[in-house]
Amino acid sequence: METVRAAEAELMARLPEGTLMQRAAAGLAATCARLLTGRRGRVYGSRVTVLAGSGDNGGDALYAGAALARRGARVTAVLLVPEKAHPGGLAALRAARGRVTVEQEVGLADFSRADLVLDGIVGIGGRGGLRPEAQPYARAARRGAVVAVDLPSGVDADTGEVPGVALRADVTVCFGTYKPGLLIDPGASYAGAVQLVGIGLEPPAAEVTALQHADVAALLPVPGAESDKYRRGVVGVAAGSATYPGAALLAVAGALHGGAGAVRYVGTAAEEVVRRFPEVLVTEGGPAGAGRVQAWVVGPGGGEGVRQALAEALASDVPVLVDADGLTELGRLGPDALAGRTAPTLLTPHTGEAARLLAGAGGGTPPAADDLAASRLATARRLAADYRATVLLKGSTTVVADPGGAVRVNPTGTSWLATAGSGDVLAGLAGSLLAAGLAPLDAASAAAYLHGLAGREAAGEPGAPTTALAVAGALPAVWRAVRTP
Ligand SMILES: NC(=O)C1=CN([C@@H]2O[C@H](COP(=O)(O)OP(=O)(O)OC[C@H]3O[C@@H](n4cnc5c(N)ncnc54)[C@H](O)[C@@H]3O)[C@@H](O)[C@H]2O)[C@@H](O)CC1
Ligand SMILES: [K+]
């Protein structure tokens, strides 16, 4: 958040004092008024509770509370740190005939009865989870909507980590820029619907970004008049085993929809692959003798042959995507296994595989997968640094980290994708984009984006269980949707 602060400071120096807070509070009050009108038909007479902490976040909430009080809402402000409440905001609320209390029992009762709660406990200045005086609100019953001011209190703005307790919101109104903590789980899961209010901030060059349709459309490979299948790229898939032939089919299905001109398969499931997908080239043996490809995908359903396939693929001079059993094997070998590579490597672990990779890098016992899920950004960054590879960390929020430090968070995820084999499709898809010439960060983030959309498409609206093959089948439709201006 240092960059946001710097941008704010620069802007504030040019504006009359308090301008940014006034803009923020006006946007916040407008959203609250819309919510109240939707729930109760009008703002007048509705009950609003403002939880005000000790910083400017509380100031925003108090000014917005004052605006709602002027429209006839019955507003009570609960001052969590009475001696440090924002003086201007408090004066505005009092002038608008808002009530103020410092009694926590009164505050809690009000919180539970309110039609709408404004969470202005703490914003980007917060450190650590909620402090003791605020914790009861996170546990208390509620009947109204909670609107988080800038960020749900207790969520780390930079990482999405929740060190302790945080207040769950139905809507978050954030100012100027999306904070990473609103995009990355577990923080993202506390934010509800996120709404951005412009306050005239120059957006700083963000370290953590999320792609949108137009960005992905610009990345996707489109064949030109000159293209033949080899120029469009051949992706090699070394996947599937006697135990898991299905993983080969799913990785190939993903690869066929990823933009490469052809898919070459090596492994024990060759017969099933050709029966299902006659357009796939199959070769006996491993990657080393398979002829020219522009990228390898190694590991889905890996089984017996994965060690050899991984060694052969890593010895090549083309990008390699390592997934599933390939990652378990790589965790055993540690980062040294990638040290001599001349082309990039893309790792696509879920948190369990990430734990094995980290253990391989540090030589210790694997960290708990749950702990890694709670610190996705840090985990992806650490893996990328340890292995000098691009890392796509799968899960409730998929995070892609480059060894150079760039991070992209995928905004299209859906929990319907938590279905067997969906990761195999993603691996094939990302490998295909690598073969088509995308840089690993672009290939991984575009693949995650398309895969998320395909999961939504396959699950339908309002959603039903779907299958990995249906997700692969939905990819052409989402390509078209993304490429439609
Ligand atoms: N700087 C600006 O120009 C603008 C800031 N705005 C608002 O100001 C916020 C940032 O304000 P501040 O820098 O004053 O910081 P905050 O209001 O986010 O929090 C800082 C205060 O909270 C206390 N605190 C820290 N961690 C805490 C915790 N875990 N539990 C409870 N209290 C804790 C600190 O002691 C300090 O008093 C933004 O999130 C946004 O809401 C907006 O008004 C827009 C303009
Ligand atoms: K807040």
163 upstream amide cis, omega within 30 of 0: no
Rounded to two decimals, the ipTM of the complex is 0.97
Q: Would you state the pLDDT for residue 220?
A: 95
Q: Distance from the CA of 35 to the center of ligand 1, in angstroms?
A: 24
Residue 166 has pLDDT above 90, yes or no: yes
Q: Which residue has the higher pLDDT, 176 or 441?
A: 441
Q: Distance from the CA of 380 to the center of ligand 2, in angstroms?
A: 27
Burial class (CB in 10 A: 0-12, 13-18, 19+), 334: middle
Nearest CA to ligand 1 atom 27: 126
Task: Determine the Cα–Cα distance for residues 369 and 57; give it in Å rounded to an integer.
Answer: 34
Q: Would you state the pLDDT for residue 206?
A: 65
> At a CB cut-off of 8 Å and minimum separation 6, what does 317 contact?
342, 343
Q: Distance from the CA of 229 to the center of ligand 2, in angstroms?
A: 53
Residue 185 has pLDDT above 70, yes or no: yes
CATH number of 2-206: 3.40.50.10260
Task: Determine the Cα–Cα distance for residues 398 and 160; give it in Å rounded to an integer.
Answer: 13
Q: Kindly give the pairing relationship between strand 390-393 and strand 399-401.
A: antiparallel
First to last CA, the chain: 33
Ramachandran region of residue 97, left (φ > 0), alpha (ψ -120 to 50) or beta? left
Q: Would you state the pLDDT for residue 444?
A: 98
> At a CB cut-off of 8 Å and minimum separation 6, what does 363 contact?
334
Mean pLDDT to the nearest integer, 418-422? 92
Share of residues in the chain with pLDDT > 90 (%)? 82
Q: Distance from the CA of 88 to the center of ligand 1, in angstroms?
A: 15
Residue 123 CA, closest ligand 1 atom number: 18
Residue 59 CA, closest ligand 1 atom number: 43
- Span 276-317, pLDDT tens digits: 999 999 998 999 999 899 999 999 998 778 999 999 999 999
Residue 3 has pLDDT above 80, yes or no: no
Nearest CA to ligand 1 atom 39: 123
The chain-wide mean pLDDT, for the chain, equals 93
From 20, 23, 31, 122, mutation site for ligand 1 pocket: most ligand atoms within 8 A of C-beta: 122
Task: Determine the Cα–Cα distance for residues 194 and 476; give it in Å rounded to an integer.
Answer: 29
- Span 218-243, pLDDT tens digits: 999 988 877 777 788 999 999 998 78
Mean pLDDT to the nearest integer, 423-430? 98
Mean pLDDT to the nearest integer, 35-59? 96
Q: Would you state the pLDDT for residue 177?
A: 86
| Phi/psi of residue 95, nearest 5 degrees | -60, -30
Is 129 assigned to a binding site?
yes
What sign results for the dihedral spanned by CA atoms 359, 325, 436, 452? negative
The encoded tokens of residue 332 equal 């055993």
From 1, 2, 19, 57, mutation site for ligand 1 pocket: most ligand atoms within 8 A of C-beta: 57
Per-domain boundaries in the chain: 2-206, 213-483
Mean pLDDT to the nearest integer, 436-451? 97
Q: Identify the weakest region by mean pLDDT among 197-206, 434-443, 463-472.
A: 197-206
From 3, 56, 63, 175, mutation site for ligand 1 pocket: most ligand atoms within 8 A of C-beta: 56
Q: Distance from the CA of 155 to the center of ligand 1, in angstroms?
A: 12
**Structure pTM?**
0.84
The CATH class for the domain spanning 213-483 reads alpha beta
Nearest CA to ligand 1 atom 15: 125
Ligand 1 binding pocket, CB closer than 6 Å = 8, 12, 20-21, 24, 53-58, 60, 84, 121-128, 130-131, 134, 149-150, 175, 199
Nearest CA to ligand 1 atom 31: 131
Is 442 assigned to a binding site?
no
| Phi/psi of residue 13, nearest 5 degrees | -60, -20
Residue 204 has pLDDT above 70, yes or no: no
Q: Would you state the pLDDT for residue 303?
A: 76
Nearest CA to ligand 1 atom 36: 55
